[in-house]
Structures are given as C-alpha cells and as structure tokens.
Homo-oligomer: A and B are copies of this chain.
Amino acid sequence: MSLINRQLRLKSRPEGLVKREDFDLQQQPVPELKDGEFLVRVLYLSMDPTNRVWMSDIPQYMPPVAIGEVMRALGLGRVVASKSPHYAEGDLVQGLMNWQDYAVIDDRRRKDYVKLPPQLSVPLPTLLGACGMSGVTAYYGLTDIAPVQPGETLVVSAAAGSVGSIAGQIGKLRGARVVGIAGGADKCRYVVDELGFDAAVDYKDENWKKALADATPDGVHVNFENVGGPVMRGVLSRMVNGGRVALCGLIANYSSGSRPSDDYSVIIVKRLSVRGFLVFDYADTNKAVLDLAGWVQSGRIKAEETIEDGLENAPVVLNKLFDGSHRGKLLLRVANDD
C-alpha cells in the first residue's frame, strides 16, 4: 500500500491574518519506515494562537517555522504502522503532528509524545481540548502560577475560548468569584449560563470598562490572561494592590502587525506579580490530564469544541482564533477515526 501524504509547507510569512497562499500544499508518498520509527494517521489538529506565533520570525520560545518547512502543530492521531517496540498499531498518540495527513515519528523523540491510556472515556476532540494543552494550561495557571483562593475574584479573558473556558471553571471549583471577558452577548451568556461563571463582560460593548468595574466590586485578585492589549489594560486597572497575573498568551499582539504599546507602570503602581508561563515547561502533565478528565466525566467541567474539516483549510481555519467566531477549543478534523 502506497500512502500519499499531503503537507502544508510555509511559503511566506503572513502579515496579519493568514492566507491560503502563505502555504504550499504538497503531496508525496509516505516514506518507508526505518527501524525505531512509527507512522501516525493524523486525526485532529489543534488550532492554537501559538501556531500564528510560530509563523513569524520574532523572538519566541521555539524557533519559528522555517520557510519551506511543514507547519508545526499539536495534534492527535492513531498509529497505523510501527517499527518501534514502544508503539503498536492502534495506539492513540498526542504531540506535534504538524499540518499533514501522516506523521513519521522516530521513537527517540517519544518523550515529546503522549500515548493516551485507552481507558480514558473522553471523546477524542476533548482529549485535545479540555484534557489537552488548553486545559492543562488553565490547570497550571491557576494551581501553580497564580493559585486562586476561595473568595478571591478571578478575571479570565477570552473566557469562551479553549483555555479561558476551562480556567474559569477551575476558578469556580477552587471557590473563587469568576468574571469572564468575551466578545459578544452570546458568548457572555454562554460562560454564565452554561459554564457557571458569576458574571461576564462583553468587551465589544462600549461601556465594557464600567461593566467590568461593576462585576468586580472588590477589585481583581487574580487575572488569568491570554489576550493582552486594551482588554488586559482594563483588567490590570482593576487589580487590587498585590494582585497576581498568570500570563499565558497575548493574542492581541500576535496578529496585529503593529508594535505593542504595553505599559509596565501598572505593575509598580499596583505592586503586581506578573508571571509568564508555558505549558511545555511542565514535564509530566499526567496529574493535570487525569484531574481534568475526571472533572469532564463527572460533569464538573463542561468541554466544548468547534470542529472544522479538511487539512487544506488549516490556514483560514486558524484565523477563527482571532476573529472571535468560535467557542471552546478550535480543532481541525483531518481524518475520521475508523
């Protein structure tokens, strides 16, 4: 059987939103496996703000994707062939799958891949969302980086998104008053009515700053931040003295194309602790994944995904992260698991 692998390779660095023409769609046969390699059929790709960062030649925590390289992305797939003693046909694997149909992986890199235990009775998309990098990011942000305490007020930006929706629900589990910031009345209703946040603020409403003040009468103790820009400035201005910020993303800066105009002054004025973090720094995320899967199974955390189809659509699907037209985790289905 000769399998054809479609790959999206970076052709030019996007400015602002991503265009189909920024990528080349190439087709080539899947190469013969060497000893120690295994072949994964990619099922779902995780669409994350960090993908947009990886496309840009700016200082970042990993090298940017080079021109001509297959676009880097997390994903989930099933092993369809193996010359590795560590992987067998049928194993479910999570890790860097990249924008392609098939990934050939050398098992010497297996520490970068998670073989998912078969007994996790959570749907595959949820494994990439609430129980994947997004949920784990929320988990460490509020348990390790800026542990929120009962009775404190937590503000979560991008509250209807993949990370924010889980962060807010973890805040509730920890006994905090949770205020979400989201774009539009629908998303605001969603985080309050369906996810159980105490209040939501629509940043597209011109009076959002007053709404934020009304929703945070005691100020803000913890800000779980993954947006940045004017929304973050508004939240920081509501922080109590000595407040803590778990900073995991600055999506407002990633595709704006303009120079950030953040201001460190508020960190002094409010005596804040601002801690940046990356989920990749946590070597063993098993406890987080098991806790999250348990909460999902018991209904204490609601997981939602927005699923789009077709590898060839990856560049334009990614833009949905920035135009606010999705809810929960944004995923691309590359193939059905059958």
Contact = CB atoms under 8 A, between A and B. Distances in A.
B271 A274 contact: no
A298 interface: no
A225 to B, nearest CB: 9
Contact of A262 (B262, B272, B275): B262
A247 to B, nearest CB: 6
Interface stretch (A160-168, A178-186, A192-200, A248-256): A248-256
A253 B247 contact: no
A59 B263 CA distance: 12
A248 to B, nearest CB: 7
A261 B259 contact: yes
Interface stretch (A19-27, A276-284, A304-312): A276-284
Contacts of A271: 275-278, 281
A274 B267 contact: yes
A278 B261 CA distance: 24
A270 interface: yes
A270 B275 CA distance: 10
A135 interface: no
Contacts of A249: 268
- Identical subunits present: 2
Contacts of A173: none
Given A59-B237, A237-B59, A250 B264 contact: yes
A267 B267 CA distance: 13
A2 interface: no
A268 B263 contact: no
A264 B276 CA distance: 9
Contacts of A275: 267, 271-274
- Give the one of A266, A275, A276 with max B CB within 10 A: A276
Given A267-B276, A271-B281, 16 more contacts: A59-B269, A232-B264, A247-B268, A260-B265, A261-B261, A261-B262, A262-B263, A264-B274, A264-B276, A268-B276, A268-B277, A268-B278, A272-B275, A273-B275, A274-B274, A274-B275
Interface of A: 59-61, 228, 232, 237, 241, 247-250, 253, 259-278, 281
15 contacts: A61-B268, A247-B267, A248-B268, A249-B268, A250-B264, A259-B261, A264-B274, A266-B276, A267-B276, A268-B278, A270-B276, A272-B274, A272-B275, A273-B274, A273-B276
